Structure 1
């Protein structure tokens, strides 16, 4: 495996589990079994450059996963239910949300740089667009679709954070029921 790809694949879950501040370059180097020189060869601007690369990797994974789910179901309501069911199952099986553990990284956003903030914002905008497209196909106006999409992102991301802090999938289950009420047309 390519060393750069190896660093990204090993660092992404470290960032997801411990946050940006909780993971040091030394820990990344040890986990990847590489030298400090090799790390800085691939990421000359250090840990922040690696984080942005990991965020872009997560971005692709999350948006591809969402698009696949939303293509499988005829309505936003059914697609959202399926997506939340997957999140609940992930949490109940692994004690964390495997596919969408973007939230843990974003929680530190206030203390990170503008490029990191932009990378996070880009993913949320892509997620909102996926929701909007499906909502518009369900017959919602563009304005209403944008509002509902924003509420969906905030609700689901907030529920993920609550699941992690409460060590329970109940917040996602509650959000699922409430979102389904909003999505009934």
Structure 2
């Protein structure tokens, strides 16, 4: 792994675990075992530029995972339930789902930095786009597919935060149980 990738990978984990403000540059340097000069070589504008690179990295990782899941199932309901089940398994076996959520970074930084807000908005839009595409394949109208995609995105992101706060998979299990009823109503 090259130095830039190493920094992004480790900083992403730290930001997810502790938030942007909870992680200092010295901690990133120590965990990555790199010098300050090396970090600034790859991220001349410092910590915020690094955060944006981490968000772009998460964008790729999360959306590729969701696309893989959604391409493997014939309906939105089956794909979403599979994705939720994967999150539940991760939470119950690893004790966390931080690799799948970036909400803590969004809530902390999106109002302070337009560049961070835009990077987060891109990720949410990509996720919603995956759901939207599958809902369209399921036969929903364009407007309804768009609205349901937004609802699924907001529900899952919020539920992941609840799971982390409660240290329990129960919120994900509840969403998984309610989702079939919600999709049937439309």
Query: Same fold per TM (> 0.5)?
Result: yes
Number of residue pairs aligned between Structure 1 and Structure 2:
185
Distance 1:63 1:110 in 2: 20
The structural deviation recorded for 1:111 is: 4.4
* SS class of match (1:37): helix
User: Structure 1 length as normaliser, TM-score?
Assistant: 0.96
- Show the 5 A alignment for 1:106-145: 106-145=106-145
Q: Which runs of 5+ in 2 are unaligned?
A: none
Cross-structure match for 2:43: 43
**Structure 2 residue 175 is matched with structure 1 residue 175:** yes
**Structure 2 residue 84 is matched with structure 1 residue 84:** yes
Cross-structure match for 1:151: 151
- Does the 8 Å contact 1:8/1:54 carry over to 2? yes
Q: What is the CA deviation profile of residues 15-64 of structure 1, one whole-angstrom value per residue up to 9, with x for unaligned ones? A: 11011111111110111111111111111100000000010000000110
* SS class of match (2:96): coil
- Show the 5 A alignment for 1:58-97: 58-97=58-97
Task: Calculate the aligned-residue CA RMSD, in Å.
Answer: 1.2
Cross-structure match for 1:160: 160
Q: What is the CA deviation profile of residues 47-97 of structure 1, one whole-angstrom value per residue up to 9, with x for unaligned ones? A: 000000010000000110010000000000000000000011111111111
Distance 1:97 1:58 in 2: 13
* SS class of match (1:107): helix
User: Structure 2 length as normaliser, TM-score?
Assistant: 0.96
Cross-structure match for 2:7: 7
* SS class of match (2:20): coil
Deviates more, 1:68-77 or 1:31-40: 31-40
Deviates more, 1:106-115 or 1:163-172: 106-115
